[in-house]
Amino acid sequence: MDAKYQRHDATSAEGIANELIDVYARVYDSPPYVSDPFFSVSSFTDRLKDAITTEGFETVTARRDGRIIGYVHGVTLPADRMWWTSLAEQRPARLRTLADAGLVFWLRELMVLPEVQNRGVGKRLHDTMIAGRAERITLLTCVVDNQPAHDAYLRWGYTIIGSVKHAPESPVYDAMYLPSPC
């Protein structure tokens, strides 16, 4: 698919935040997400604001005809993040050491508009993002019931560490890591 991919740091991401939120609203405007307060636009907006202020924030957007058709964003994993520490001894020792050293990238969100899904945009966003990161390992969480995304991450080489909840009201996620950059 013909798209233009562009990196944004925290400052430039703030300038396109409304576009990112609009994409989120379109992607999550279907069951089971549409009726779940955790996936509401206002809840996402709060999570996006939190991400933008976290060390190492970056987003990569895919645009076609001037509009964002997908994006990915993430941060350097804070080693004391509750969901991460809740995995306790399930976390491989090497990942704990790398996280303590600020060398784990947390891919927080990856989304592609429904009408352009399954055309390689998500994979290209993913690969573009992690290819430009200094961290040695990429970590993400994926809703267990989101089978298409879950299957894609496993195909892309991710390994499941264990299950977590980001907040009491959140669904169950699988924490997954990519052993080395693609």
DSSP assignment of 6-73 equals EEE-HHHHHHTHHHHHHHHHHHT-STTTTT-GGGSHHHHHHHHHHHHTSTT-EEEEEEETTEEEEEEE
For range 91-112, the mean pLDDT: 96
Whether pLDDT at 77 is above 60 = yes
Say how many domains are in the chain. 1
129: containing domain = 4-178
CATH assignment of the domain containing 123: 3.40.630.30
SS3 for 94?
A: helix
Q: State the pLDDT at residue 31.
A: 77
Bigger pLDDT: 146 vs 62: 62
63-86 burial by CB neighbour count: b if 16+ within 10 A, else e?
Answer: beeeebbbbbbbbbbbbebebbee
pTM of the model: 0.94
